[in-house]
Structure 1
């Protein structure tokens, strides 16, 4: 994205326009997160497959062992789901940069806020819309 395009991204009143360097820094952070999340997902899937194979061999386990294995499996699945969700949010943020819509609230169309995006680059809603969403 060029300086002109970066400067054209929405910002809240009182915030300076995005610079190419600032946007590149956020993008690099997101791309680094994407690579790390993909690695974590691959490792989690491998571990889950191993545990599933172990649970099949669990003939003769007492009910406590069976319950503990089921609890661990559910916990691991929840973590994997959260990691996949974070990956999708990160990929979506990079896609929005490419489309030139990064920083625009998906609900009201106003600026999300440069400071907010620098702190949480996956944000898609401005503070007001996010608060409204959380109250529902």
Structure 2
């Protein structure tokens, strides 16, 4: 059951409907953009694979270049899929009333952090701790 109000830090005002609508709109736009980008990346990868990495008539430089291009496309696709997953999770948290709550300690993440990075899942304290590991 969704909460009616989302958590905020003690020094912050509660989320307004307009702020939540802005975050939701941004996340939904990101979701649509990422789907399009993933589709394009998949087509680019298909083209690379169809052309063949080590096709007949290609010299070593061509083979190496196509291999690097394929690897770059695969890395891009992996990054896009991860962003897509993070965006879907953020929308799910909004839907279920847990948006803005740190997944590690349960404390509020902070509105300013979420307005800057709507996919954030950790408060700054937990994020710093994770990055030091």
TMscore range, shorter length: over 0.9
What is aligned with 2:71?
74
The CA deviation string for residues 74-122 of structure 1, in whole angstroms up to 9 with x for no partner, is 0111011101100100000000011110000000000000110011000
Secondary structure, aligned partner of 1:59: coil
1:30-74 superposed Cα distances (whole Å, 9 cap, x missing partner): 000000000000011011101110116721211111111001100
What is residue 14 of structure 1 aligned with on the other side? Answer: 11
8 Å CA contact 2:53, 2:67 repeated in 1: no
Q: Structure 1: any 5+ residue segments left out of the alignment?
A: none
Aligned length: 132
1:46 aligns with 2:49: no
TM-score, length-scaled by structure 1: 0.93
TM-score of the superposed pair, with normalisation by structure 2: 0.95
Gaps of 5+ in 2: none
Counterpart of 1:128? 125
Counterpart Cα distance in 1 of 2:30 and 2:54:
36
Range with bigger deviation, 47-56 or 91-100: 47-56
Partner of 2:22: 25
Given the superposition, is the C-alpha separation of residues 56 and 64 from structure 1 closer, same or farther in structure 2, using an over 3 Å criterion? closer
Match of 1:60 among 47, 57, 63: 57
Could you tell me whether the CA contact under 8 Å between 2:6 and 2:99 is conserved in 1?
A: yes
In 1, distance between residues paired with 2:23 and 2:53?
Answer: 44
